[in-house]
Structure 1
Amino acid sequence: MRILLFTGKGGVGKSTVAAGTSALAAARGLRTLVLSTDAAHSLADAFGSPVGSEPTEVAENLFVQQVDAQRRFEQSWADIQGYLLQVLDVVGVDPVAAEELTVIPGAEEVLALLELRLHALSGRWDVIVVDCAPTAETLRLLALPEALGWYMQRVFPFERRIVKALKPVLTRAAGVPMPGDSVFDAVERLHAELDEVRDLLAGPDSSVRLVMTPEAVVLAEARRSFTTLSLFGYRVDGVVANRVFPEAEADAWRTGWVEAQAKVLDETEESFAGLPILRSVYRTGEPVGVEALRDLAEEVYGDVDPLAPPAGEGPLKVTRTDTGATLELQLPFVSKAEVDLARHGDELVVTVGSYRRLLSLPAGLARHKVKGARVEGGALQVKFEERTP
């Protein structure tokens, strides 16, 4: 099963490109689902067809779903929210305000990805295309499972034991209800499901495709997205430059746009060297409907297979040496000064800008010491050496 995620800065046309790719896959006889995890759903508008919270067939082999994030939120967060509401009620918070306080910002978009897990496990689909939220929300979403994993491994077991042992005393002393097993079970279940989602999206059959328009600001965000996606182990397999003005005789205004876009497109080719840079020409009308979307995708991909599995070993690679090993993590567009590296027990802590990843080292490397590190050729290289007895 092939999984493709489309993301980009808001307004660049990622939903249109995602919809077109799914229409092309279905036309090839593959049972295809295009799934929107963006709170501002637009797939129904793109297909010109009503779309519900369950897979809706819009053409042969092509199904569309706009995830009901509120329903998913209630299913996965109900026990946790119920406990938090009890606590806020005891301390006198207004019920309406308490309801708002127990909803984590962005949680609906994160929980929408759990729908992807269910579809992947169902075995119903040959291809799943995900129309993600705009870039910033997508990056936070994809970073969450690993961050939650650290809490679950390091803090959660200890906290659960303490609460279980002291629950009667704490409840009487503080007057605040302590979380029961149902709350802890809900957190553990949520973590396990998100962890499965992360493994699925970082696997060999999944990749992210960046959609951009030929503008300097949009290119800068696409570069940052490439760096951060690589940091968290997700493969980027291509870039789609959308709304490119055709080179033709025109008035001075459009000629100026053509020249400005050509400059950004040259920078795009340099920035993403080694990745396919696909182009979609600015059309006279908005593509709406399965046929129009399929035509757009055929033009964009040309002779390129839109469903080809991502090449290479992924952003993270470990190579054995005579004295130990070298861990290499692809970090395109960053310099040594922008990377902070620390060793914490069996983990390697890598920080780039406002994003931090905790890499759990395999047993073979955990017994080694860090000998040195450098950033070279768009990659962080960490040298490990065997400890002397």
Structure 2
Amino acid sequence: MRTLLITGPGGSGRTTVAAATALGAARAGVKTLVLSADRTDTLGAALGVRTGAAPVQITPALTAWRPDAAAGFRDDLAGFQDRASTVLDLLGASLLDPEEVTPLPGAEELTLLRALRDAALAEGDDLHELLVVDLPPTPQALALLALPEELRRYLRRLLPPERQAARALRPVLGRLAGVPMPAEWLYETTARWDMELAAVEAVLADRHTAVRLVAEPGPAGDDAVRDARLGLALRGLPVESLVANRVLPEEVADGGLLSGLVAQQRKFLGEWGEVHTVAHLGRDPRGDDDLTALAVPGVNPAAFPIEWPVADRLAEDGVLVWHIPLPGAIRDDLDLIRRGDELVVTAGPFRRIVPLPSALRRCTVAGAALRESELRVRFAPDPALWPRTR
């Protein structure tokens, strides 16, 4: 299954492009599922059909689904209360009724991740060839895409696997140490969360997953595209295509009020290079005819994850060089920290903590430089850890 994640700055028309992309793929005979997490039914407005918690069949090859964040949040909270009932009773806590629960900020994003996992693990009649995901605006989307990896890292730090493996000895250790040990439900919950997050992380890391960026050509759109490319590259996610939305035709540039806007759009389109333009229809697109008129590009099957190769230069320079593509990065906004077997990479407003490849764990950082939109980190073998040659 291919997964196409669609995002862009707020108000850029990303949901409309997601609907048009999914509809176009379905018309080409590709069994497609389009997902959205908007509280308001923007996806349904574009498709001309109401969407909601239950998947809706739009055409024989197209299904739309907008999971219910409120229901998912209530179910999760009810499950937590059941598992932690003993502890909550000891604390004298008053349990919450599902009817009084309101989703907290971020519930939509978590619901979307869960739906993404469920769609990827579907089998039989529920299996789709293409999954189109209408992500939130770019800043929230980048934070959302980072969430599975970061949460799994937190879980491993708080409850390491080796500690979980010894949980059968927990009662004995508790008596010997004289301190309370984590309850069984906590281990079980952690293990379940880790499995769910791993499934989402696998979808994002899959070679058949890519991102389609949507933006209006202009100063704000240019800033958003530059930041999005950098943030996505740091996550190893390729940009399958850049869609310039709501592009005005040349005919309106007749010396009137729109002439300046047309000129500005053409300027940024020239700077963006390879870009697919979607014309402004003069109205908000709605329904099959309008979505077809947008003529969005088909899904590019040639997109692959961004690779971070390690170049062996031991023979020439005595170092290994880790190449990290960071398009649009600025040298003064880069920062690196070596933390044990991890490297903390900060690029502008984005940060990622990545485990070092096995060969580099036995090395020390010997320097770094930004060259040709790549961060190149040099590692020198540590004589105390590197195998000796005969």
Question: TM tier, shorter chain?
Answer: 0.7 to 0.9
Task: Kindly report which structure 2 residues correspond to 1:140-289, keeping only aligned pairs within 5 A, or say none.
Answer: 140-157=143-160, 165-166=173-174, 180-248=183-251, 249-269=253-273, 276-289=274-287
Aligned-residue offset at 1:35: 0.8
1:341 to 2:359 alignment: no
SS in 2 for 1:239: strand
Aligned-residue offset at 1:61: 0.4
SS in 1 for 2:309: strand
Distance 1:93 1:180, change over 3 A: closer
Q: What one-letter code is carried by the residue in structure 2 that aligns with 1:187?
A: T
Alpha-carbon distance between aligned partners in 1 of 2:12 and 2:344, rounded to the nearest angstrom: 33
SS in 2 for 1:292: helix
1:316 to 2:308 alignment: yes
Q: What one-letter code is carried by the residue in structure 1 that aligns with 2:302?
A: P
* Segment of structure 1 superposing worse, 246-255 or 21-30: 246-255
Q: What one-letter code is carried by the residue in structure 1 that aligns with 2:122?
A: S
Q: What one-letter code is carried by the residue in structure 2 that aligns with 1:31?
A: K
Alpha-carbon distance between aligned partners in 2 of 1:60 and 1:54, rounded to the nearest angstrom: 16
Alpha-carbon distance between aligned partners in 2 of 1:354 and 1:85, rounded to the nearest angstrom: 41
SS in 2 for 1:238: strand
* Segment of structure 1 superposing worse, 320-329 or 129-138: 320-329
1:214-236 Cα shifts (integer Å, max 9, x gaps) = 22122212211211111122111
Alpha-carbon distance between aligned partners in 2 of 1:343 and 1:128, rounded to the nearest angstrom: 37
Unmatched tracts of structure 2, length 5 or more: 385-390
Give the match for residue 372 of structure 1. Answer: 367
RMSD: 3.2
1:64-119 Cα shifts (integer Å, max 9, x gaps) = 111112233344454446678998898789978xx999965314312321111111
SS in 1 for 2:9: coil
Alpha-carbon distance between aligned partners in 2 of 1:326 and 1:59, rounded to the nearest angstrom: 50
Q: What one-letter code is carried by the residue in structure 2 that aligns with 1:308?
A: P
1:268-297 Cα shifts (integer Å, max 9, x gaps) = 33xxxxxx411111112332112431332x
Q: What one-letter code is carried by the residue in structure 1 that aligns with 2:353?
A: L
Alpha-carbon distance between aligned partners in 2 of 1:10 and 1:253, rounded to the nearest angstrom: 24
SS in 2 for 1:337: helix
Distance 1:65 1:102, change over 3 A: closer
Aligned-residue offset at 1:375: 1.1
Is the Cα contact below 8 Å between 1:81 and 1:102 reproduced in 2? no
* Segment of structure 1 superposing worse, 43-52 or 258-267: 258-267
Distance 1:94 1:207, change over 3 A: same
SS in 1 for 2:73: helix
Give the match for residue 25 of structure 1. Answer: 25
Give the match for residue 2 of structure 2. Answer: 2
Give the match for residue 300 of structure 2. Answer: 307
Give the match for residue 356 of structure 1. Answer: 351
1:249-284 Cα shifts (integer Å, max 9, x gaps) = 535101121112222323333xxxxxx411111112
Distance 1:102 1:84, change over 3 A: farther
Unmatched tracts of structure 1, length 5 or more: 172-177, 270-275
Is the Cα contact below 8 Å between 2:363 and 2:379 reproduced in 1? yes
Task: Kindly report which structure 2 residues correspond to 1:53-68, keeping only aligned pairs within 5 A, or say none.
Answer: 53-68=53-68
Alpha-carbon distance between aligned partners in 2 of 1:44 and 1:333, rounded to the nearest angstrom: 35
SS in 2 for 1:316: coil
1:297-355 Cα shifts (integer Å, max 9, x gaps) = x3x32xxx4232305x5142223333453211111212222111111111111122343
Is the Cα contact below 8 Å between 2:7 and 2:14 reproduced in 1? yes
> Taking structure 1 as the reference length, what is the TM-score of the superposition?
0.84
SS in 2 for 1:252: coil
Is the Cα contact below 8 Å between 2:337 and 2:345 reproduced in 1? yes
Give the match for residue 293 of structure 1. Answer: 291
Alpha-carbon distance between aligned partners in 2 of 1:87 and 1:261, rounded to the nearest angstrom: 60
Q: What one-letter code is carried by the residue in structure 1 that aligns with 2:369?
A: R
